[in-house]
Amino acid sequence: MHIDRRALIGGAASLATLAMTQRATAQDATAATQWPPREHFKLWPDRPPNSPRRLPTPNNEMNGQPPRRELHLRGVAEPVVGVYRPARPDGRALLSLPGGGYRFLSVENEGINVARTFNPLGVTVFVLAYRLPGEGWLEPQDVPLQDAQRAMRLIRARAADFAIDPAGLGVVGFSAGGLLAASIATAYADPVYDRVDAADDQPARPAFAGLVYPVITGDMMRVGALGAARFDTDRRVNRGTPPIFIAHALDDPVVPAAQPMAMLAACQAARVPVEAHFFQEGGHGFGPAYLAPELPGSHWPQLFDLFVKRTLASRTTG
């Protein structure tokens, strides 16, 4: 595989900038946060698929204590995509999928802070507020994937408006959002909803997928009586799966390291390009901003940025 050396040099030069951005993000984490942001768009023109008679009641709440007081979303009745544009876009784009155990969405830590970190690197960031399966939806196991597929297709349909390369659109997901990212990377073509409009003719397959302290198997995502989430994603990896990036802390008390290790093994078996970083310390839920800079895990955004540049360069130079 040929690697564009200029991309590597450019990525290395950005490390100091990104480190400063991370520190600024951590300091700014207690600032007022707006959701949805001024620029956003709805996924569905009418009621979302699988809607019950009564939709859940939206609830945006601040959770935790400083310096980890963050905005969480519950009751997502109308899924939307928040748009965060960089000052100097380079064509790359990320759809960020926040976690929260499918019980809430950690939209600030694992969405807005992703934009604060990657916008200075030229990456356009889209944050998806997807529906939560435990909030009354019919066939609830399908609703997160419905929203993720639809978001990918709508973003690609409007790529010119967003100044992005539709072939450079990837995903990054955290914890339960990591399961959704792994699902869109392996089940991007599953017919989970009926065609709505011309945007649904666009592909939903991401160019790459970042899985950060990710859940990988559905049996970890039981919500009440709903049973397992839709996929054991490691079992669905095949040659059509896009390149995968993994970041995980070995002391994670929520998601065992065996989960991302299973995805690593599956990618290797299927000959899917994969890069994995397992850090000794870091715990769970550190997003792009909440690890002390002396911990190696705090540098996963830099590592991911370099991975994305290499992945896209190899696609164009072969």
pLDDT band at 69 (very low <50, low <70, confident <90, very high): confident
| pLDDT (0 to 100) of residue 290 | 87
Burial of 282 (0-12, 13-18, 19+ CB in 10 A): buried
Query: Is 97 within a domain?
Result: yes
- Between helix 5-13 and helix 300-317 the angle, nearest 10°, is 160
pLDDT for 25 beyond 70: no
How many domains in the chain? Answer: 1
In a domain, 4, yes or no: no
In the predicted structure, residue 17 carries a pLDDT above the cut 60: no
Q: Is residue 19 part of a domain?
A: no
Residue 21 has pLDDT above 70, yes or no: no
Query: Is 16 contained in some domain?
Result: no
Q: Sorting pLDDT into bands at 50, 70 and 90, what band is 41?
A: very high
Dump pLDDT digits (tens) for 77-128: 999 999 999 999 999 999 999 999 999 999 999 999 999 999 999 999 999 9
% of the chain at pLDDT higher than 90: 79
- In this structure, is residue 184 part of a structural domain? yes
Per-residue model confidence as pLDDT tens digits over 134-155: 999 999 989 999 999 999 999 9
Give the chain's mean pLDDT: 89
pLDDT of 14 above 90: no
Residue 6 lies in a domain: no
For residue 141, what are the domain limits? 34-314
Average pLDDT estimate for 158-164: 98
Over range 12-17, report the average pLDDT.
48
Q: Is 73 exposed, middle or buried (0-12, 13-18, 19+ CB in 10 A)?
A: buried
C-alpha torsion 191→187→51→95, nearest 10: -120
φ/ψ (deg, to 5) at 200: -75, 0
Residue 22 lies in a domain: no
Q: Look up the CATH number of the domain holding residue 120.
A: 3.40.50.1820
Residue 187, amino acid: A
Residue 272 DSSP SS3: coil
Q: Per-residue pLDDT averaged across 196-213, rounded? A: 98
The C-alpha atoms of residue 25 and residue 29 are separated, in whole angstroms, by: 6
pTM for this one?
0.89
pLDDT interval class at 64 (50, 70, 90)? confident
